[in-house]
Structure 1
Amino acid sequence: MRTAINTAICSIAMLGSSVVSGAALAADVNIYTSRQPDLIQPVLDAFTKETGLSTATIFIDKGLEERIKAEGANSPADLIMTVDIGRLDAAKQAGVVQPVTSDVLENNIPQRFRDGDEEWFALTSRARVVYASRERVDIDAISYKDLADPKWKGRLCTRSGQHQYNIALIAAYIAHHGEDAAREWVAGLRDNLARRPEGGDRDQAKAIYAGECDIALGNTYYVGKMATDEKEPEQKEWAAAIKVIMPTFDNGLTHVNISGVSLASNAPHKDNAIKLMEFLSSDEAQKIYAELNYEYPVEPGIETSELVQSFGELKPDTLGLDEIARHRAKASEIVDEVNYDGGPQS
């Protein structure tokens, strides 16, 4: 499958699609995205090839909602493409997106991967998993709860507790176990840290490779990116030093987050934008997009790449992502309350 998809990606010409920085957009569908353009370009090119509609993107890492608000009714943005339930919910709460009624989206995307008000739709998912040293960790199963067990004291590495990926996981823990249990859990994680939280998910794999810690929290797709990184081949060594363990809640399921898309509130090309949203939910687009980014398609029945399959079977949590979004503020408060980013304190 991987060879076939890569062939498809390579064969798609750069048709009618461009990356624009700062200037006004003038394509058939204009996209504001917090994802690096090269991560979405092949699927946009496939859309252009199929429909003849051009696309243009502006990469906005921070302040996406503020920019659209400032542009007001004159905003050229048709779609917002971003990652993490927190960012999608932030766009919704900021009032810069609008609901979409579409039988295609409803049929292709399971309910738990759609906003209850139809204001955002997941495109791919990624699991928040444990990176474990192949040399120093001899288990192949673990629960999220177990990560706070003192047996891991001085052996855990993570990025900041306030990072959106960790906030979403803590929010899911609140949804499953309640605020008090989540506070105790985060404090337990803090005291198991080998160092103060720092860096990104790749840095946690690097720390395991260097022997600074034995386990870490990270997203699955980073393992794929490290394992195939030709520009920085040392990352292949980091990936080879770790194994992926799918941690679970009490229900035996693993926390997942998403990449997703929303229709901008003042979309000047609304009909074209909805066509792109529907295309992004299709079999073809799901295969290209998930394969390119080492993620999981949200549409049921689409096979993942061989590399992603090597991570082990993912049984995604059925908790609604909109419920996770409701607990994000409390999750952030808990991180500060226990001074998680201050590092171990016992």
Structure 2
Amino acid sequence: MTRTLAALLGTAITLSTLTAAQAQEVNLYSSRHYDTDERLYSDFTAATGITVNRIEGNGDELIARMQAEGANSPADVFLTVDTVRLARAAAMGLLQPIESAILEARVPAYLQDDDNNWFAFSQRARILFYDKTEVTNPPQSYQDLAKPEYAGQVCIRSATNVYTQNIAAALIAHLGEAAVQDWATAVVGNFARAPQGGDTDQLRGIASGECNIAMSNTYYYSRIIREGDSQITPEQLANIGWVFPNQNDIGAHMNVSGGGVAANAPNRENAIKFLEYLTSEQAQQYFSAGNDEYPAVPGVGLAPSVAALGIFRPDTIDLSDIAANVEAAVKVLNNAGWQ
């Protein structure tokens, strides 16, 4: 009897120790693939003692994985690089609403999901770039891309890309679906080539002379300023100008990285602590210094490569309004023949 009781007590102690160890971890499903994020994770662990376990992959793949895992999913946090997939995960019931005074205080309301399923932690302005040697009157708004004078000059990403879907959804929220349908159809008529490649490829298209105008997120250009690019010479880079669009009305469209707590998070409190950490001064500065992004928290300083682009007026539309128009945006782009 004594040995049995001792054995039981030993088992209980072991289980208790395991539970305590499990409580000091957070399982992150992330589509952010930047090596610089390693510092975010190590600093969070140093500050809290909570180990970050990561599963990285494409946002859609991670969503499918969470759905397949169901209630047994080990995911605590879903982190991705666009509003489209954040909204999709929430709509599929893969995220849970949370209450956090820290997140509410530090993240502006328009950068939060209306139901608190997700929050933005960094931003990238989606702006227009142009060849200064070829374009004397660059477009000053997203709508200007539809002007006949830019026929055969525009390089841009495909209709399946979430950044393209986001900008179309934002314009629908501002201008209405009919107006954006006309816009998208006219922009397709101005393509210099069929949509292809990533944002850096659009900038390379300007450098190579394949197109005179392109749309890209700012952090790709800022990264070239900081690190260079094997396919863009310093002379070619100097000939690329940029415009923050719509500075007299809606402002420049902002893409975001953001995240939320998984619906079945086994370490829910640690997950919330991790999201709160991403709004800290340290983490926000690192988004800018490490990955050339704009902080989501107001008042945080910018890295030189980001500040070099200048001050601008961002579009402060509620991200939930963009998410609500993504389905309409996909239809508009397909109807326009935007490949």
Quick one: distance in 1 between partners of 2:329 and 2:119? 23
Quick one: distance in 1 between partners of 2:232 and 2:227? 6
Partner of 1:72: 70
Partner of 1:298: 296
Aligned match for 1:198, one of 184, 196, 201:
196
Quick one: distance in 2 between partners of 1:255 and 1:70? 34
Closer/same/farther in 2, CA of residues 37 and 249 from structure 1, 3 Å limit: closer
Identity across matched positions, percent: 38
* 8 Å contact kept, 2:77–2:260: yes
Task: Give 1:131 deviation, angstroms.
Answer: 1.4
Unaligned stretches of 5+ in structure 2? Answer: 1-21
Task: Give 1:135 deviation, angstroms.
Answer: 2.0
* 8 Å contact kept, 1:35–1:83: yes
Partner of 1:344: none
* 8 Å contact kept, 2:205–2:211: yes
* 8 Å contact kept, 2:206–2:212: yes
Aligned match for 1:28, one of 25, 29, 33:
25
Quick one: distance in 2 between partners of 1:95 and 1:291? 34
Task: Give 1:235 deviation, angstroms.
Answer: 4.3
Matches within 5 A, 1:52-63: 52-61=49-58, 62-63=60-61
* 8 Å contact kept, 2:167–2:253: yes
Matched position secondary structure for 1:234? coil
Quick one: distance in 1 between partners of 2:252 and 2:34? 29
The reply to whether residue 339 of structure 1 matches residue 337 of structure 2 is yes
* 8 Å contact kept, 2:76–2:271: yes
* 8 Å contact kept, 1:141–1:246: no
The reply to whether residue 207 of structure 1 matches residue 205 of structure 2 is yes
* 8 Å contact kept, 1:154–1:193: yes
Amino acid at match of 1:38: D
Quick one: distance in 2 between partners of 1:239 and 1:59? 32
Partner of 2:230: 233
Unaligned stretches of 5+ in structure 1? Answer: 1-24, 342-346
Partner of 1:244: 242
Quick one: distance in 1 between partners of 2:212 and 2:62? 36
Structure 1 stretch 234-243 or stretch 117-126: which is displaced more?
234-243
Matched position secondary structure for 1:175? helix
Partner of 2:6: none
* 8 Å contact kept, 2:122–2:284: yes
Matched position secondary structure for 1:262? strand
Quick one: distance in 2 between partners of 1:282 and 1:224? 23
Matched position secondary structure for 2:242? strand
The reply to whether residue 281 of structure 1 matches residue 279 of structure 2 is yes
* 8 Å contact kept, 1:69–1:96: yes
Amino acid at match of 2:30: T
Aligned match for 2:222, one of 210, 213, 224:
224
Quick one: distance in 2 between partners of 1:242 and 1:114? 34
Backbone CA RMSD of aligned residues: 1.8
Partner of 2:326: 328
Task: Give 1:157 deviation, angstroms.
Answer: 0.6
* 8 Å contact kept, 1:291–1:304: yes
The reply to whether residue 89 of structure 1 matches residue 91 of structure 2 is no
Partner of 2:174: 176
Q: Which has the larger radius of gyration?
A: 2
Matched position secondary structure for 2:47? helix
Closer/same/farther in 2, CA of residues 140 and 128 from structure 1, 3 Å limit: same
Task: Give 1:227 deviation, angstroms.
Answer: 2.9
Closer/same/farther in 2, CA of residues 66 and 262 from structure 1, 3 Å limit: same
Task: Give 1:243 deviation, angstroms.
Answer: 2.2
Partner of 2:147: 149
Partner of 1:187: 185
The reply to whether residue 270 of structure 1 matches residue 265 of structure 2 is no
Amino acid at match of 2:26: V
- Structure 1 residues 84-139: Cα deviation after superposition (integer angstroms, max 9, x where no partner): 10011011011111011000000000000000000000000111100111322234
Closer/same/farther in 2, CA of residues 192 and 299 from structure 1, 3 Å limit: same
The reply to whether residue 48 of structure 1 matches residue 45 of structure 2 is yes
Matched position secondary structure for 1:228? helix
TM value normalised by structure 1: 0.87
Closer/same/farther in 2, CA of residues 92 and 228 from structure 1, 3 Å limit: same
Task: Give 1:307 deviation, angstroms.
Answer: 1.1
Aligned match for 1:255, one of 253, 256, 281:
253
Amino acid at match of 2:246: T
* 8 Å contact kept, 1:144–1:249: no
Closer/same/farther in 2, CA of residues 304 and 188 from structure 1, 3 Å limit: same
Closer/same/farther in 2, CA of residues 28 and 291 from structure 1, 3 Å limit: same
Quick one: distance in 2 between partners of 1:281 and 1:192? 41
Aligned match for 1:314, one of 312, 315, 338:
312
Amino acid at match of 2:272: I
